[in-house]
Homo-oligomer: A and B are copies of this chain.
Amino acid sequence: MSNSAVKSRAFEGWELLLDLVLLLERSRLPAIAAEVGLPEAQCHTLRLLDPDHETPMRRLVECLSCDASNVTGIVDRLEARGLIERRVATADRRVKVIALTDAGRATRRRLLERLGEPPEPIARLSAADRKTLCAILRRALRR
């Protein structure tokens, strides 16, 4: 399947993690997005939104690490689906803030539930392995 012909001099185990990442990126994430009924970029954006507070569009631009013009389009489509609302910020009238609608909060919840389910390769690890993996990743990501 994944003919991981990557040979890392620096760390031969990274090859395995890369395989896992690519597997998730190309099969699991698209599948979950399809289930939820939204394209991946819109899922990503929905995930970033705070269900309890308004989010300035500028923050989405940073978190999605893409051009501002893309965010305009993504927000347009999420709004057209009735999942979010765009409002003008009272403080600085240049700024627009995004608020989830009730439908948006529900969809977001479904999305997070599905994302939260570990994929097959991870789910089949022993409790001990999962605990160790968790500890190592926490060190890697400094949490």
Task: Identify the A interface with B (CB < 8 A).
Answer: 1-3, 5-22, 24-27, 29-30, 44, 47-48, 50, 63-65, 112, 115-118, 121-125, 129-134, 136-143
Contacts and interface: CB of A to CB of B under 8 A. Distances in A.
10 contacts: A6-B112, A9-B116, A10-B117, A11-B130, A20-B21, A20-B137, A21-B21, A25-B29, A30-B65, A133-B136
Contacts of A134: 11-13, 16
Interface of A is mostly: helix
A46 B7 CA distance: 16
B8 A116 contact: yes
A6 B116 CA distance: 6
Q: How many copies does the complex hold?
A: 2
B116 A141 contact: no
Contacts of A63: 1-3
A112 B19 contact: no
Give 8 closest A-B pairs by Cβ, nearest first.
A13-B134, A8-B116, A16-B137, A14-B118, A121-B140, A6-B116, A11-B118, A129-B136
Contacts of A129: 136, 139-140
